[in-house]
Structures are given as structure tokens and as C-alpha cells.
Amino acid sequence: MDKRGSDCLRELIRVLVRNLGILEKSDASCCGVTISQCHAIVEIGRAKEISLNELAELLTLDKSTMSRTINKLVDNNLVTRELHSKDRRYVSIKLTEKGINVFKTIEGNMHDYYENIFMSISEDKREQILDSLKVLTETIHKNNCC
């Protein structure tokens, strides 16, 4: 039973990740930016201001990969990058006005998409789904941590 249960969990997560990946690849969801740029824009937009190191850690990317992603966003006038006046190692990242517009569009698209999915779930199952996903994400975090 345990083996079948874990195999079933693996398969369900695999399909879920694949289906969500297809969603993220569509231009409608990420406004013409790459998936990694989309994730960075969302996290910067939610934080308002974040360091390069904090963003890399949040997205579980190494600093060099995060730096390249941010460079492209700077080139596209979506973010600004500023060195801290007292600590030159601290790089502060913020969205530009154009970046804020892209962030709002991404958030709106994702809100509409997930609201449609959530409302398609029978009302008596919605809380169960949310509780199960919370347990799953907490368990994954605990097993990936330390």
C-alpha cells in the first residue's frame, strides 16, 4: 500500500507540475517574458524591494543565474538594480513602472485562472483540497530543508 501510495503521489504531482508548466509557458500568463523572469517579477512585485541574494534564495537559484535573469529584466526596463550606499555587496531590486504593469497583468491572469479552477471544484471538496495542499507543501519543505 505504501509503495502504491507513493507511486500515485509521484504520478499526480508529475501531472500537476506538467500541466502547470504548460500554463506558465503561455504568453497570456507571463506577458512575453521567460518563466524564470516571470517568477522573479512576481516575487519582486510582492516584496516591493528585495536583495539579489534574497531573491535567489527564494527562487532556489544560484546567485549567478539570478544575476543573469535580473540583467535581462534591467535591459528590458522591467526592474532597477541599485547598490546599497553603505554595503556594496547588497543589491536592491525593484520593479520599474513598466515592471509593475507586467506584475499586475501576471497576477491578474493567474488570479483569474486559479479562481476558475477553484470554482470548478465542488464546494464540499474545496477546503479539503486546500488543506491537503498545505500539508503536502509543508512536508516537502521539511524534507528538502537542512
Band (pLDDT 50/70/90 cuts) for residue 129 is very high
> What's the pLDDT tens digit per position in 19-58?
776 655 555 456 778 888 999 999 999 999 999 999 999 9
Q: Is the Cβ–Cβ distance between 44 and 81 less than 8 Å?
A: no
As a CATH number, domain 2-144 is 1.10.10.10
Task: Name the pTM for this structure.
Answer: 0.79
Q: What digits encode the pLDDT tens for the residues 67-111?
A: 999 999 999 999 999 887 777 778 899 999 999 999 999 999 888
For the beta carbon of residue 106, count every other beta carbon within 10 angstroms: 20
Asked whether 93 and 55 are in contact (CB, 8 A), the reply is yes
Q: What's the rounded Cα separation, in Å, for the pair 114 and 97?
A: 26
User: For residue 34, which of 21, 45, 53 has the smallest C-alpha distance?
Assistant: 21
What was the pLDDT predicted at 32? 79
Give the whole-angstrom CA distance, residue 23 versus residue 114. Answer: 11
pLDDT at 18 over 70: yes
Each residue's pLDDT tens digit, 79-90: 999 887 777 778
- Does residue 10 carry a pLDDT above 60? yes
Q: What ranges do the domains of the chain cover? A: 2-144
pLDDT at 79: 98
Q: Is pLDDT of 116 > 60? A: yes
Q: Specify the pLDDT at position 28.
A: 47
